[in-house]
Amino acid sequence: MEKLKNNLNFNYSDHRFPDVRLETCSYREYYPSQTDSFVSHGGAALLVVSDGKGVVTEEERRYTVTKGKGILITGGMTVGIKADSIEPAELIYVKIGGDSVKQLINLIEKREHGILLDFGSNGKIPDSARDMITECSKTYSSDYGIMLAFYDFINSVYEHYTEKKIPTKNIYMTRAVEYIKQNYNQNLSVESLANILGIERSYLSRLFKTYKNKSTQNYIIDYRMRQAKRMFEEEDMNVSQVCAAVGYTNIYCFSRIFKSRVGMPPKEYMERCRRHGA
């Protein structure tokens, strides 16, 4: 994925996109614990987390945001952001105007509770937001190219909030997730999990694809890696201890998977956590 330059800002006049139009878009790459604020004067703005994490505040409310999350800013609302000390956030701010912006706000508010937005795990909305910033930042960008990139972003938002809702609960899915949480540190496989639940492996795979948008194996791996990160951040444990604690017997396999999911080897992550925690 192309690296974006920090502190990119683009402003556009009303005549370019009259119905639902792009007014402003910005890209911000923060350093650890950096603070910032955003405000929407009329219309609406979407704050998209394209990577990392942080804490957003709005009046007395606080929201933890990570990649795949966002914030809806409307009606002169001001929100503050504090980047995480270890994985500082990268944010894309998209200010939207036009005659149909109220319909977009209503559509989002029907599906969300409050201003915190969940864009799901497939990354389509953050990716299309990055593509839009990339298009805007081109030396010879055109109105047509910017318009296409913006409408691709808006279309991905509309699709996300108008897609058919799946049932909120499935008894096998609930049991599977709970079992993983309780036994992730054991020799846990997809086959053994299906046998414990008394269902076919193929049916279990369809459940995870439907409810979690990922395979059963990837869900187990992701959960283990989240626990490994938590242990490095909160416990005084070395790499070998964390490896065993999250269910791996081969430290090289654990290190390879950790690096592929987190972006750095576990030893480096452990050392960064200790430096920041000192």
Instruction: Answer yes or no: do 55 and 129 share one domain.
Output: yes
Query: Same domain, yes or no, for 31 and 135?
Result: yes
How confident is the model at residue 139, as a pLDDT?
80
Q: Are residues 87 and 224 in the same domain?
A: no
Taking a C-beta distance cutoff of 8 angstroms, is the pair 189, 200 a contact?
Answer: no
Q: Is the domain of 144 the same as that of 207?
A: no
Q: What is the CATH number of the domain that holds 198?
A: 1.10.10.60
Domain that holds residue 222: 171-277
Q: Does 28 fall in a domain? A: yes
Has residue 3 been placed in a domain?
Answer: no
3-state secondary structure the chain: CCCCCCCEEEECCHHHCCCCEEEEEEEEECCCCCEEEEECCCCEEEEEEEECEEEEEECCEEEEEECCEEEEEECCCEEEEEECCCCECEEEEEEEECCCHHHHHHHHHHHCCCCEEECCCCCHHHHHHHHHHHHHCCCCCCHHHHHHHHHHHHHHHHHHHHCCCCCCCCHHHHHHHHHHHHHCCCCCCHHHHHHHHCCCHHHHHHHHHHHHCCCHHHHHHHHHHHHHHHHHHHCCCCHHHHHHHCCCCCHHHHHHHHHHHHCCCHHHHHHHHHHHHC
The CATH number that applies at residue 19 is 2.60.120.10
φ and ψ at residue 99, rounded to 5 degrees: -65, -25
**In a shared domain, residues 48 and 94:** yes
Residue 100 has a CB neighbour count (10 Å cut-off) of 14
Does residue 114 sit within a domain? yes
Chain segment 85-98, per-residue pLDDT in tens = 999 999 999 999 88
pTM metric for this prediction: 0.55
Same domain, 190 and 149: no
Write down which residue in 162, 196, 228 finishes a domain: 162
Task: Name the domain boundary from 112, 135, 162.
Answer: 162
The confidence score (pLDDT) of residue 100 equals: 80
Residue that finishes a domain, picked among 110, 135, 162: 162
In the prediction, which pLDDT does 95 show?
92
Q: Are residues 152 and 177 in the same domain?
A: no
| CA 225 distance to own-chain centroid | 16
Low-confidence ranges of the chain (pLDDT < 70): 1-3, 10, 12-18, 121-122, 163-169, 277-278
Q: What is the model's pLDDT at position 278?
A: 47
Of 6, 56, 13, nearest to 36 (Cα)? 56
46 and 175, same domain (yes or no) = no
Structural domains counted in the chain:
2
Instruction: Indicate whether 110 and 134 sit together in one domain.
Output: yes
* One-letter identity of residue 234: E
